[in-house]
Each structure stands twice: as structure tokens, then as C-alpha cells.
Structure 1
């Protein structure tokens, strides 16, 4: 068996640089992509290949929700504005701008939530007013019939 020893820090063995400077140099070289250790003089230049991997991150554009709010819960045109932002989000997604698509989708989601909540509160309030109005009207009619003796 041949036991050859290789030094991890070649400059530290020769004494030309301190250990701290060697570590600093190697760290900076590794951060910049410079190969560590001695580079042979007769080697060909290193080539690198960059592969762009398209992320399959699906950005929800909330088009269906916006369309529903536009048709049924369109308080102060918030549903329509949400629909416009949803379409912009879908356009950005088709172009490949994921950040822009997420931004438009987030705005559409907030507008949809506001439109839905306000419209539901108004609908519930209208139903409550209608019900209490009907009760008050029935009480008034019954009091009128009691006071007039049925005439």
C-alpha cells in the first residue's frame, strides 16, 4: 500500500501565506467559481452549461371567482376590477412572468374577498331589514284591526 500524504492547505505547508489568508483566498475563490488548488497549465478552458428549468409553480389567477363576483356580488364594481386583475395575472403567467402573475393574482384575491364580504353583509342586512319590516307591518295591521273593531 502506498500512503502518500496530500496537504489540504498547500500554501500553509510552504509558509508563503498564513492559514487565515489561505482560507480567505480559497473561500473567495469558491464563491467566484474559481477552481481550488493548482490549475494545470495545459488544460483547456472550462466551459459551463446553463439549463433553465421552468418551475411548475402554478399561480392561481382567480378568474372564476372574479367572474362570479362580477356577475352576482359586484359591489361598487369591485368584482369587475378583480376580474381585470385576474386577466392580467393570467396574461403574465402565459408570458412567463411568475412574479408579476403572483402580484396581480394577490390583488385580485384581495378585491374578491372585499367584494364578497361586503356584498354578503349587504345582502344579509337587506334580508334582516325586510324581515323586521314585515314583522313591524304585520303588528301595525293587527293593531289597526283591533282598534277599529274589524272595520
Structure 2
């Protein structure tokens, strides 16, 4: 095999067995020999983008919709997550990333606001219960058992 035919197959990934088409082309190049023209050999590089994973945060949005839906932020985040998934299915990664970023921001706000309001509600409920029980015990003492 000539040096030019070996150079032709350097682009194959290492560790991957050659396919039938690659072996067939290698055989054809070996049989035909090196190119006879004296023109310089040009190469073309094709960059194939690997599909980057754009998280759509749909599970987080669903959780916030069901459990932390204060001010409907969880529902709005869920809507943006669905839009992000739709954009990803169409192939618009920029649009998917934009919607996913908005969904993430809304999910953070829904979670923080939901936790703060839930904790506040628990504190108010606990202090209210204590105040009611104290008031009842004082009324019992004051009225002499009635």
C-alpha cells in the first residue's frame, strides 16, 4: 500500500474496527495505486457537532407545580420546560437553552418562595396554637374551672 492511501485512512477513530466500506475503499485504492496527478492533495475537514444535552428541568418543574406552586411559579416553569423540550425536538438548541434557562430560574424562585412560605406557615401555626392553648389555660384559671 502506498503512503498516500495510508494517509487517506488516518481519519478513522482509534480502537474502532473498520467497516466493510472502509476495507473495500482501502482495497480499491491499493489496486488502483496512488493518484497520478501532480496536483497537491487537499483535505476537507467536516466537524460534526455532538448534540449537547440541554436539560429542560421538566421533572423539577413538575415537582414545583404539584408541591411548591406558590404564585403559580411552578406551573409557569413547567410551561417553559415543555417549550424547551419542544425546541429540543425541533433541533433549535439555542431556543431550547433559552427556555430551559428561564425554567431553571423560575424553578429556583418557586422552590425558595415555596420553602419560605411553608416554613412561615408552620411557624405561624405553631405560635398560634401555643397562644390559643395559653389563652384557654388562663381562662380556666380565671373562671375557676368553667
> Does the TM-score normalized on the shorter chain lie above 0.5?
yes
Shift of 1:56: 3.2
Instruction: Tell me how many residue pairs correspond in the alignment.
Output: 110
Q: Give 1:55 shift.
A: 1.8
In structure 2, what is the equivalent of residue 126 of structure 1? 121
Q: For structure 2, which runs of at least 5 residues remain unmatched after alignment?
A: 1-36
Instruction: Extract unaligned runs of 5+ from structure 1.
Output: 1-41
**CA distance 1:89–1:50, change in 2 (3 Å):** farther
CA positional deviation for 1:52: 4.6
Who is 1:25 aligned against?
Answer: none
**Residue 131 of structure 2: which of 127, 136, 140 is its match?**
136
Q: Which residue of 1 aligns with 2:94?
A: 99
Query: Structure 1 residues 100 and 45 mapped into 2: Cα distance closer, same or farther (>3 Å)?
Result: farther
Question: Which secondary structure state, in structure 2, belongs to the residue aligned with residue 145 of structure 1?
Answer: helix
Secondary structure, aligned partner of 1:61:
coil
Q: What does the per-residue CA deviation read over 1:53-112, in whole Å, with 9 as the maximum and x for residues that have no partner?
A: 132321110000001111111112111111111111111112222211111100000000
Q: Tell me the TM-score normalized by structure 2.
A: 0.67
Structure scoring higher RCO (CA < 8 A, sep ≥ 6) equals: 2
TM-score by length of 1: 0.65
Indicate whether 1:58 and 2:53 are aligned. Answer: yes
Root-mean-square deviation (CA, aligned residues, Å) is 2.0
